Amino acid sequence: MSEEVGRDTHLATFAGGCFWCMVKPFETWPGIKRVVSGYTGGRVPNPTYEQVCSETTGHVEAVQIEFDPELMPYAELLDVFWRQIDPTDAGGQFYDRGSSYKTAIFYHSEEQRLQAEESKRRLAASGRFDRPIATEIRPAEPFYEAEDYHQGYHHKNPGHYNRYRVGSGRDAFLRDHWESPSR
């Protein structure tokens, strides 16, 4: 479960609904070495996309991020994560429904767990949402990279990616809840 990958590189793992939508918000920050789409939290080794979508493996779609904590502290990654999701939705995210689209923070160390719990407490106390925060905080589990066609999807299929974000309701929700000056 160690968060350290290399001497200067750590791991963070976040489930935020469709993993296509979780790569782009992280990849351009300083200190981000790699963002990979994949599956975690389930009971079947090396699941396929079709197996995960069948809702029979227990996995969620997630991203795993290799980062330099000197350039991009974990607390800042948490802030980026919260601003990509509806943390009050326990049934999936936006258009995507079901357990494979639930939100979760998978911590790789006790320090990450404490920071994640504190960030969740702050968000709950902020008054930004009128429902309880449903995002789970769980220990990291084996992470399986998704098939190649899912990696960097927003680069490979930008038209479909952009239509998906708008059509799913994600962009409107994020704009209304994170960019609105009244919140």
What pLDDT, in 10s, does the model give residues 77-126? Answer: 999 999 999 999 999 999 999 999 999 999 999 999 999 999 999 999 99
Calpha distance 28→155 (Å, rounded): 13
| pTM metric for this prediction | 0.93
Tens of pLDDT, residues 134-152:
999 999 999 999 999 999 9
Identify whether 18 is a catalytic site residue.
yes
Domain count, the chain: 1
CATH number, domain at 75?
A: 3.30.1060.10
Q: What is the largest CA-CA distance in the chain?
A: 45
Two tokens, residue 3:
């968060």
The one catalytic residue in 18, 22, 72, 123 is: 18
- In which domain, by residue range, is 11 found? 4-179
pLDDT score of 8 more than 50? yes
